[in-house]
Structure 1
């Protein structure tokens, strides 16, 4: 695509085998706006767990993170299949970015159950997304039916989100779960006859970029917590352990290319949807490290669990969705050891040591397999 876009071109489906398909500057800008929402959400989870309101904090975190993640998903998969890079496309994408920022502004209120601003931001993004799908349908190619079903499904579900604003308590939670399930079902229903031509390399890169952003939030949470200050000896082992944990997860995620797994819609749905647990666990890990770092009297069970549970969930999620099968038993054993480490004294160094040892073992296994071929 050229730097200066054409005024308008037909929004036809792109070639799923297009060479050199990479993330665009507009997509990077879109991701950058999500940094604000994820950072705010991580800080709110940190404060909830630190103040002894873990159950409330985790429930609010999962609900709001779903809204953030799903908004990102909708834009990412559409852009992979239909990015026309013309003026109307860029303006519509900027409208969706505006919705992201409104959603981010409403994260603190949504964490307490007040979804007005988040719903407004979501609606703004949905207006842009629906307009994009209608443009794709207007091209009248073989994907017209899928595009129209996506536009209808997105619009209908948005009405359901509006109804949640009038609910409270248990009904509020049940409606949220129902609408989240409806959101996940729309693409499956819409693409039952014709799959949008998303690009495997492009999708794998986009997911990798968001994972790096979430890892950056972990680094930010750790840095801000370290600024709180405590004795020098503890500073070194806590900061060093946090850095090793981040580096190990970066290594694991990018251990090998994954685009070859995205060979059809069925596998793509499992891989794409399953990444909710990858991203949510990684974001929660940043909050957990902040909790562990800000406990004034040293390691506590609450602080240890705040780190060990996200680490174990992230390990299992990565193995099930993303990592090669070779060495899978090492990952599962490591997740079990990490959970046991929560009941030890200083869990952070133990977790870091387990992850480093597991990564080293996987490197040796892969080297041996490569040599034997």
Structure 2
């Protein structure tokens, strides 16, 4: 570990290989287990349309905090002491954010309750990001490279030594846009504390809009945005596993209650099959170079890269809703008919995941065949129909039907993999 090294871009330097997540990044991801659990608990306590709206509204800022820090760590080498301290501070801020989720939005939306804590936590997290990008902007000197940049010439190096990538001016401009955008977003979060309910929610929405638009503005306005060796697809996959872990926990709790409720164990088994099939569908088509290709292949590829990264919002939310539905159905396993909200959370979450995953897989280097796209869309529609008619079924019948549908989809995925050229 270097104590004083400035942040340096992860230059491709002629290599097209992706980098990998650091131990600190993995630690950071684990903190968001608490945030996802709080969001799941919130939806579990209110399986109504209003509860779903609140769940979705709060999922966006939680996802965006994770995405913002993940992308900074993807863009720069992050082994320096100052970054470790900043990320650890971000982890604590994320824990505070998680602790306020349950009271961030009141049932009527007209009282502040825990809204101030939620807003202040977001403002603090944006301030950390502003500091990180501001420091990186100052360190990116032009001409030349930041200290210790990979590929930078060393003192006394010969004329055949690798020349420093001429990207620092673009990098400074990029970081400046991030500082302005995230600074504006943080100011809006802070200003919402002084606004009466429910107008504070409008400022929250505006803050998120500004922050989420900032990367678009940065990469579409900088003439030659710097290309870097990205491991963001790996981070997205790891976060997918974290959210899938909520379904695994639901199965464990269901198995624990099986002796007192005989039907709980079969329902838990089918919910595990559902989680396993969703894992299979996602990880069957992971492309570790999708972000690198987006950064090096022109504006149209760049837009596709944004679609891939931002599309994971619906993937994560769908998986979280599926986990909530799984837990609720296991709890009602002994009943002849189940609550409509529980069935719809399970099947609707699975449908949202399938549609969002399909959209993400359509923008990678080797997109899905039309036949497989049609099969996935059909499976998503079938899941939605099951959810809309869920009150007519028992939890066992509902989970068995969805599990069977997803097993058929997984079988189609395996056949497509075998028939696709260049695969094993």
Same fold (TM over 0.5): yes
Alignment partner of 1:187 is 2:215: yes
The Cα shift of 1:231 comes to 5.7
What is the aligned counterpart of 1:178 among 194, 206, 221?
206
How do 1:236-275 residues align onto structure 2 when only pairs under 5 Å count?
A: 236-262=265-291, 263-264=293-294, 265-275=302-312
- Is contact 1:99–1:120 with CA below 8 Å preserved after alignment? no
Matched, 1:135 2:127: no
Partners of 2:304 and 2:38 lie apart in 1 by: 32
CA separation in 1, counterparts of 2:93 and 2:385?
Answer: 42
Summarize the Cα distance change of 1:13–1:285 in structure 2 as closer, same or farther, 3 Å threshold.
same
How far apart, CA to CA, are the structure 1 residues paired with 2:33 and 2:328? 20
In 1: Cα distance, 2:376 partner to 2:19 partner: 32
Tell me, yes or no, if the aligned pair for 2:33 and 2:242 is still in contact at 8 Å.
Answer: yes
Which residue in 1 is equivalent to 2:335?
297
* Superposed displacement of residue 232, structure 1: 4.6
Q: CA deviation at 1:304?
A: 1.7
Q: Is the 8 A contact 1:316 1:331 kept in 2?
A: yes
Q: Which protein shows a greater Rg?
A: 2
Comparing 107-116 with 156-165, greater Cα deviation is found at 107-116
Higher helix fraction (1 or 2): 1
Equivalent residues in 2 for 1:75-86, closer than 5 Å = 75-86=69-80
Aligned pairs for 1:187-336 (under 5 A) are 187-191=215-219, 192-193=221-222, 194-200=224-230, 202-228=231-257, 232-262=261-291, 263-264=293-294, 265-295=302-332, 297-300=335-338, 301-322=340-361, 324-326=367-369, 327-336=372-381
TM-score, length of structure 1 as denominator length: 0.91
TM-score under structure 2 normalisation? 0.80
Which 10-residue stretch deviates more, 133-142 or 237-246?
133-142
Question: Aligned-pair RMSD on alpha carbons?
Answer: 2.2
Contact 1:277–1:314 (CA under 8 A) maintained in structure 2: yes
1:62 counterpart = 2:52:
no
Aligned to 1:119: 119
> What SS does the corresponding residue of 2:19 show, helix, strand or coil?
coil
Aligned counterparts of 1:82 and 1:175: Cα–Cα separation in 2: 31
Q: CA deviation at 1:182?
A: 1.4
**Farther off after superposition, 189-198 or 100-109:** 189-198
5+ residue gaps, structure 2, are 142-167, 295-301
Asked if the contact 1:291/1:306 (under 8 Å) is kept, the reply is no
Secondary structure at the residue paired with 2:6?
A: coil
- Count, aligned residues: 364
Is the 1:46–1:291 contact (alpha carbons within 8 Å) kept by the matching residues of 2? yes
Pairwise CA distance, 1:98: 1.4
- Kept after mapping to 2: 8 A contact 1:316/1:335: yes
Measure how far apart 1:253 and its partner are: 0.9
Unaligned stretches of 5+ residues in structure 1: none
- Most deviating of 324-333 and 170-179: 170-179
188-197 or 80-89, which deviates more: 188-197
**Matched residue, 1:347:** 398
The answer to whether the 8 A contact 2:122-2:189 is kept is: no
